[in-house]
Every structure is written in C-alpha cells, then in structure tokens.
Structure 1
Amino acid sequence: MTDTQHSQRRSQATASVAAILAESAKRFPDDVAVVVGDRRTTYADLWAQTLAYAGALRARGIEAGSRVAMLVPNVEDFPRVYYATLALGAVVVPVHALLKRGEIEYVLRDAQASLLVCAAPLLTEGAAGAALAGVDVVTVLAPAGGAGGPGGAGEAGGADAPAGAAPGTRAAPDRFEDLAQESEPLDTYVPRDPFDTATILYTSGTTGHPKGAEGSHFALLEQANTNLLSTFDLHRGDVMLGALPLFHTFGQTCTMNTGFRVGATIVLLPKFDGDGALAAMVEHDTQVFMGVPTMYMALLDAATRTGSRPPLRYAISGGASLPLAVLERFQQVFDAPVHEGYGLTETSPVATFNHVGTTPRPGTIGTPVWGVDVEIADPETQDRIVMLPHGQIGELVIRGHNLMNGYLDRPEDTAAAIVDGWFRTGDLGTKDDDGYLTIVDRTKDMIIRNGYNVYPRQVEEVLARHPDVAMAAVFGTPHEQHGQEVEAAVVLRTGATVTPQELIELVAGEIAAYKYPRVVHVLDALPLGPSGKVLKRELVQQFSAKPAVTTA
C-alpha cells in the first residue's frame, strides 16, 4: 500500500508486526531471545538494538512504505533488521541467501527496493545484484574498520560498482552497525493500518519469474496468535532450534514471529547440517524442533554417529510431505511426537495442522487452523471454485485471515490465484469426513504414464521404507511411447548394499505396474532449494537428456 492509499484508511485500527518483539521486550526483558554460538541476547537488548537499527534506516532515508531488502543469514542481525524495518512502517523484502546476482537484481527491481542490507559474507553476489539494480547497500557482519575502508570484508563491490567490476574498485558499503551508533534510535514502532503490506516474500518461481506475495500486518499477527492459541505446543521459556532459514516463510513466521510472540528462546543456526544441528540441540537442551523433511532425514543420519539426544518434547514438520517411514524413525530415535502441517507463502503460511491436544494422524496434514477454511475443488475448472465431495482427489483451496494481500503489481496473477475468495494452491489432496486433509502431490509434479495418474509421493513412501535409502525423489521424464516415464533419484546411507534394480523390484512388488520407477539413479545428494525442498525440476532437466533403458 502506498502512503497515498494509506491516507485513505480502511478503519482507525492500527497494527504492526514489530509489536511482537516490542511487547515481549516489555514482558520478558531479561529472558534470552536469541542464541548464536556462545552469544546470548535478551529480549530487552534485542529490541534496543532493533530501535537503533531503525534509527539508522531513518537516517538513510527509509520511511513508512519504503521497501527494504535484506540478505542476511540466521544470526541476530536478521531479527534486528527485520523488526527495525517494520518499526519504521516500511516493508521487509527478505532475499533468499542462495540467489545469484542476476536473481537478486530481479527481486530488488521488482520490489522497487530502496536499500539492501547485506551480510558481509554474501556481498559478492548481493552487492553485484544491487549494482545491477541501482540500489544502495549497507552491510552487517563486516569487521570493524573493514567495510567502508581499505582491505575490509565489505570490498565485494559497493552499490555503485559496475557489473563484473573487480572487488574493491568502488567504495565498500557502510557498516550498518556504525550507522546505528551514529543515529538517533526510534522511541517505538510506527503504527500501520492492519492490512498494510508488512512483507514481500518471493515465491520459488517454478513456473516463471518469482512473484512477490504481499503479507499484511494483520495476517502475520493473526498467524502467530492462532499458532499459539490452538495450533502449536509452545510456551514461554521453550528452547527452539532456529534451523529453518528466516528468509523463508516457515522459519520467519513459525519460528521467529511465533517464538518471539510467546517468549521462547531461539537457537539460530547460520547454516544447517545434521551433525551441527544435533550438537546444538543437545548443548542447549532444545525442546522444540521445526523442520522440513530433509532436515529430519539429516538428523536421523547424524543420530547414527552419536548417542546424545536433546530433551525434545515436540517436533513440527512442514514444507513438504514427510515420508511415514522417516516420521516413525524420528519418533523412535528422538522420543518425541511429530506433528505435520501445511501451508504456503501466500497463506502466511500455516493453513492446516495436527493441532495441539489431539493425537496426530501420521500421513495427514491435519485439519484447518482456527478461522481458516480448506476444501477440495475441481482442478480443471479455473474460472470458479467447484467443490468436490469428501474422499475425492482435487485441488486444495484456502480462505481465511491468513491470505496474502496479493502478488505485488501482478493483478492478473492475483486474480488467477484467488478465485471466489479462495486461494488455489496447486496442490492435490483429499479431505475425509473428519476434516483431515492428505496431500497427494503437487499438480505440477504429477506424472501421467499411459494416461494414468502417478503421484510421486506414493512411490517415495515405498522407497523411504527401505533401510538403505536415506532420501528419495520421484519424477517424470518425457517418453515417446508412454508420454512420461517414472524415474527415481535416491541417496543411500553409508554402507548401503542395495542396488537400483533391487529398489525397482521392491516398489514393483508393492504398487500397480504403471506406477513403479523404471529407472533409479543413485546420487551423492539431491538438489535442494534454500528452504530444504527437493528441486524436482532440476532432476527432470538432468535426466530428461539421458536415454533411459526401461522395462515394460
């Protein structure tokens, strides 16, 4: 929302996501908010540092309605910059940490960002992308006396460095920490209309250029409150592992915003790996873990190398379907229940969950969260929503307080995604008579072989049950005779002896003949996106070019 639109208020009510940290700083000033390595930051200190950062942003010309992009890993500076931007009434544009300069340029241009706050280790791509977009840069995490001076860590090229320029050929970005010390801090946060845009989060762009989903203050606040009231099992003083990237909606809303709202302590990991995560969980007596399926697999792998276990009370899985075999192994190894949920960037994100107080139903994504409706619609009817009876496979559609304002400057895409007030997810699933939903697969991931629908998740579940398989992904490749062929890529555990042909025979013995993979590729690792999801489109591209010997 522009400031002109803001002057025409919908109501006299105000709201700000920055209130999450501000209020907890008042209520729990001496509680530890964030742990990074051996550094512990209290809520009072984190809010004071945030107000100082907000003062620096104001001195840099940032005001209500400005867009501030941030390229920062999971360290204390992420919440500082995030809430400082919101405290000014500006809009946060988190940038995925793995993007390259051209992708960063696209996000900065599309969001019309006024500034990029970039961590020094990410300046090589970040500053280059900002230069291409003509956006000013300030840096965090650069050594004192470094960025802004000769020989500093910030000399990866300033915002005015030409594309392809050698490092250090232009002035390095200013250190944000120095600017904060020199500026007058804010007294408190600036109130906004509840439906003003607070964040612009870019979708993965699997079907074209990424789109910026605008999240309102209301949707994000209501999400945190709903998570705590009736959805998650979280309490003041809980120690949570902050392994999910905070630039992604799952980590940002469910870990950071919800965790800070309740007064939890978040142990942030700048980079996730199974051994490091397990060690951090043990060291800090972590009680709550949130992760995507690949993180669960990595923790199970790490658990084979140590007998140490954290005192986990609760685990939350989202982002993709967790294979039942992995869920069962995790519950056994870590002695904690796993509750699955479901959501998207466009839904803030949580839409359904196996709620606190109810026994989770493994294999389902639970029931809709409070105030949100999730139904199954006919995926073939695009111009209106046609509901299907319980039990039938169709497209999940969502409506409620958690919906985005829309896609930034893309009214046609917004109109196609939100039909009759329902957001079309593109995910296929079913709903039973008890209201429990099950994801079958993404519409785009479904394979059609000889005219029959093959849902990769069903095949992956069978592969995941084999003790030698650590990870599995099933995908379709073009085939002259069958239309598409079913193939699988697997990562095997250390010491595995199973062969690809044995895996093919295993699956062929458990599911229909048209569904089992005719080819199994053994890989050292699966391609993963920044949030830990398997990038099946890369597998399709990699193996579509290779002739495959298939069995009938």
Structure 2
Amino acid sequence: MVNASQPIWTHAHARPDAVALRIDGQEWTFGELRDGSAGWAGRLIHAGVAPGDRVLLAAGTQADWVFAYHGILAAGAIAVTVNPGSTFNELRYFLDDSGAVLALADDGTQAHVSRAGEELRVPVWNVNDAAEWTGPPVAQPRDVDPGDGAVIMYTSGTTGQPKGAQLTHRGIQGSARSVIEAIEITADDHFGTALPLFHVFGQVTIIRTAYEAGIPVTLLTKFDAAALLETAARHGVTLLAGVPTMWNAMANVGPEFDSLDFSRLRLALSGGAGLPTKVAAQFHDRYGCEILAGYGLTETAGVGACPRIGGPRKPQSAGVAWPGAELAIFDTEHRRLPPGSVGEIGVRCEMSLKNYWNRPEATAKAWHEDWFMTGDLGRMDEDGDLWVVDRIKDLIIRGGYNVYPKELEEILYTHPDLLEVAVVGVPDERLGEEIAAVIVLREGRAFDLRQMQAWMAERIASYKTPRIYHVVPELPKGSTGKILKRKIDRADVSSLGFRTVKASGAVHTS
C-alpha cells in the first residue's frame, strides 16, 4: 500500500488510544485522527473527487485542517494548501491556477473563498461543518503510484505570480523518513510548534514526520513566545520547531520563564532562514537545548542539510545532506565546484518536486540533469558540511564587489542594542547598489550612527559596511515568522535612512 496518509491507519490499528494531536489544550488520539481522516476521504469520494483532482484547503491551524488534509491524501487527490491569511485575489489565483474541483474553507476564509468559488464555479465547503456532507468513510487510503502528486504548495517569488510546487507521495514520505533518521526520533519523542500547517516546515517536517513515526504533535494556533514555552514545558515536548524570529523571541522573554521544566526538551529544529549564532547561544544558555539550524526548501519537501546529531559543530554551518539526499555546489555554467568555492547549491533526492504545476518552462529551468538548482549560494568543505551564504537574489553588488547580507546580519545580531536586523541593497547611481541595514532596537535603547559605524569598522571590511541604517518599530514577517525582505520598501529605506541622521550623529527612531 502506497499513500502518504497510510501510517495514520497503521498507528491507529496498533495504538488507537495514543495521543496523536493536541491543539490549545484539546486532544485527539490516533484512532480519532484515522476516523476523522477516513470520514473526509469518504465525503470527497462520494462527491466525485477523483484521484489526481486538486482540492484547495484554506484554513487555519485546527484539528479539522489535519483531518481534511489527510482525507484528501487518502482519497488519492492533491491537497492545495494555502495561507489562510491570503487576500481574495490571491485565493482566487490559487483556486484558478491549480484547477481545483473543490475548495475547503473555515470561518475565517469562508467569505473570500466562497466569492472566488462563485466566480470560478467551484463548490466551497466549510471544513468545520463536515456533517453537512455525507459519504461512507474509507476503510483504507486509496493505493497510489509513489510518483503521484500529493500536495501543491505555492512558493512566493519576488517577480511574477507564485508557482505551485507539486510534491509526491514518495517525496513527502521520504522526507519524513529522512527527518526521523537524521534527528534519531524514537517512540518517546513529542513534537511541539506554532508553525502554520500550510507551509512545508509545519506540514511535512513536523506533521508528516510525526505521523510517520507515530508520535504526538502539540500545536499552537498562533505563535506567542510565552505560550509556546509554557506549552512545551507542560506537555513534556522533546522536539521544538520554529524559525529564527521565534527563537529570538523566546530567548528574550522575562526571567519568570526560567523556572519552567524543560528537562524533556532534547532538540530544537530551526529553518526558514539563517539562524544568527548569538540567538542560538542565548536560547541554549536559557533552556539548555541545542538548536539544529538546518537547510531545506519547499521544492525538496523540506530536505537539504542538517547538523549531525552528536557530531562536531562547525560555526554557522547548516550541516551535511539529509539521509537520502546529496548536495553539490555549481558555477553559473553548471560545473561542479571544489570544496571551499561559492556557487549555487544543488540538491539531488527522490523527495524533490514533481514539477511546478502547469509550468514546464519554470520546471525545466529549475533542474540541471537530476539536480534541483535551489537559487541559493553556498559552499561546502571536504567533509560535506554546507554553509548557506545567501539567496542569489539577495546578493548585493556594491561598486563591483559582492556583499552577502547574511554575513552582515550575523555580525549585527551581536550588537547589544539591536533586536532584529535585515540587510538589503538599495539602488545607487554611482555604485549600482548601496548597503542598508533595517533594524529594530531593543526596548529603551537609542541608536547613534557614528558609534555604529565605528563598531562595524572593527568587525568587517569597509566595502561591506552598511552606509544606510533605517530604524523601524518592526520588520515585515510572513505567517511563519520569517522576515520578508521583499516587503521592505527600498525607496523608504534609501530616503528615510539618510534623512534621519542629525548633525549630532543621533538617529530618530520614530
């Protein structure tokens, strides 16, 4: 039997009363998870949803999302999982582009999805009203080909419309098994996170891995540093997952959290963006838990690199290839580069996407032979350890010199006055691009331009030093908490960054 949802049936048969899911204090067993998923699969099949049909799922974190998602997979259909915070235009685009035959919404997305469905003549069901639709629950998931599509996730690009990355049953199961091996998951483990479920990190790396292994997942419907820490301590979470801004927030909560019991917490998994060394150290010092900052992509079902468990740590390295994957570095002509050279990261594994939905040209462009070309710059050493230098699109070329924002951000995060940082390039008539640091100050701190310039001069070459510092109350973030550089207004940064400098060297923070 091949179907990515099958492990739920297997674990439900072996341990029906074991806790599978916990959300905001409510619990569901593996037996209840199987029954909920089987019910949704039956409803979809009874409504005429055929293998390979796309079903849009636009809902927030809740048990009904988990049941419906696995029901879609069990029916042999393809789950199109989208951000419930999407606008009407975005939801209409996802519905139209995917060619979905049915859409599932919740109370929060119902109005937008129903309007889009009406325009496109696609039926819309409310995922919270399962009783309205009938159909006998399936006894077992439908058998599918391992290479059949299971999920479509839309990737947000800086230009053009988002592309739907189609992942396969083989891919998401292979990813889960890779995670289990890489971080040595056992039956005693317990995942906890506040990551959204429509994203590959929460959906595949956490949910699918947990149910492949038969362990529980505790979720928060929305990230809150205090709530996630309290939840992890109360339920004995062993594996905590998040993105860098989450670790930063949890590392900076008040001292009242130091008394919580984190004795069962053995590992934290970080993804979505580079994790500053200082943030990782602060979290470890407070909670006694190491953060494994790995590397993965939607297109590879979250697979990429991960530090070795119990192995030597190399500063700022993302680790070695996940089990079942290979990594290599390529130049612009797709020639493999030797250790130590910076080039584009390629990933070769069976977990990679089947295609970009209905985009053969984009699919072909993303591949070199059987290597998926990531669009990320990196280097590897003789041991196979990977350092992710930056996104190719984020590279700043200042006066002919390559400047990597991630390198500057790593330094700026060590400044005692700075809470969050994003380094971007802004247009410059003379140099082509100028380097700008968009920063959030810690509460009660002031910012002095001359002092910052002197502090940076001691730590990095002059040509890499930001010439613009723009102080903001907060940085734009996506639903996972990842800082979204594409939403930073370069024109504002360029103009306001210069204008906020007083003759005294002080900088306005308003």
TM-score, scaled to structure 2: 0.94
Of 174, 178, 193, the residue aligned with 2:132 is: 178
The one-letter code of the counterpart of 1:536 is K
Task: Report the equivalent of 1:147.
Answer: none
1:225 and 2:177 aligned: yes
Of 406, 418, 424, the residue aligned with 2:367 is: 418
Of 448, 473, 484, the residue aligned with 2:433 is: 484
1:537 Cα offset (Å)? 1.5
Task: Report the equivalent of 2:35.
Answer: 48
Task: Report the equivalent of 1:358.
Answer: 311
Task: Report the equivalent of 1:121.
Answer: 108
The one-letter code of the counterpart of 2:424 is F
1:501 Cα offset (Å)? 4.3
The 1:428/1:193 distance shift into structure 2, 3 A limit, reads same
The one-letter code of the counterpart of 2:44 is L
**2:440 and 2:473 in contact (8 A); partners too:** yes
The one-letter code of the counterpart of 1:131 is E
1:26 and 2:13 aligned: yes
The one-letter code of the counterpart of 1:241 is G
Task: Report the equivalent of 1:282.
Answer: 233
Report Cα offsets for 1:194-226 as digits up to 9, x if no partner.
Answer: 101111111112232111111111111111112
**1:477 and 1:540 in contact (8 A); partners too:** no
1:371 and 2:320 aligned: no
The root-mean-square deviation of aligned C-alpha atoms, in Å, is 1.8
The range that moved more, 98-107 or 504-513, is 504-513
What are the within-5 Å matches in structure 2 for residues 388-537 of structure 1?
388-537=337-486
1:183 Cα offset (Å)? 2.9
CA distance in 1, matches of 2:168, 2:150: 5
TM-score, scaled to structure 1: 0.87
**2:12 and 2:31 in contact (8 A); partners too:** yes
1:211 and 2:163 aligned: yes
1:291 and 2:242 aligned: yes
Of 45, 51, 56, the residue aligned with 1:58 is: 45
Task: Report the equivalent of 2:75.
Answer: 88
The one-letter code of the counterpart of 1:281 is A
Task: Report the equivalent of 2:282.
Answer: 329
Task: Report the equivalent of 2:3.
Answer: 16
The 1:200/1:482 distance shift into structure 2, 3 A limit, reads same
The 1:116/1:503 distance shift into structure 2, 3 A limit, reads farther
1:276 Cα offset (Å)? 2.0
**Secondary structure of 2:383's aligned partner:** coil
CA distance in 2, matches of 1:542, 1:140: 42
Task: Report the equivalent of 2:140.
Answer: 188
The 1:276/1:129 distance shift into structure 2, 3 A limit, reads farther
Identity %: 35
Task: Report the equivalent of 2:506.
Answer: none
Report Cα offsets for 1:19-50 as digits up to 9, x if no partner.
Answer: 12222212222110111122110001111111
The one-letter code of the counterpart of 1:482 is L
**Secondary structure of 1:425's aligned partner:** strand
1:38 and 2:29 aligned: no
The 1:477/1:264 distance shift into structure 2, 3 A limit, reads same
Task: Report the equivalent of 1:11.
Answer: none
1:305 Cα offset (Å)? 5.2
**Secondary structure of 1:546's aligned partner:** helix
**Secondary structure of 1:491's aligned partner:** strand
Task: Report the equivalent of 2:193.
Answer: 242
Structure 2 gaps, min length 5:
502-510
- Give the aligned length: 498
1:372 Cα offset (Å)? 1.4
**2:6 and 2:140 in contact (8 A); partners too:** no
CA distance in 2, matches of 1:545, 1:517: 12
1:495 Cα offset (Å)? 2.5
1:238 Cα offset (Å)? 2.1
1:523 Cα offset (Å)? 1.6
The one-letter code of the counterpart of 2:62 is V
The range that moved more, 330-339 or 356-365, is 356-365
Structure 1 gaps, min length 5:
1-13, 142-174
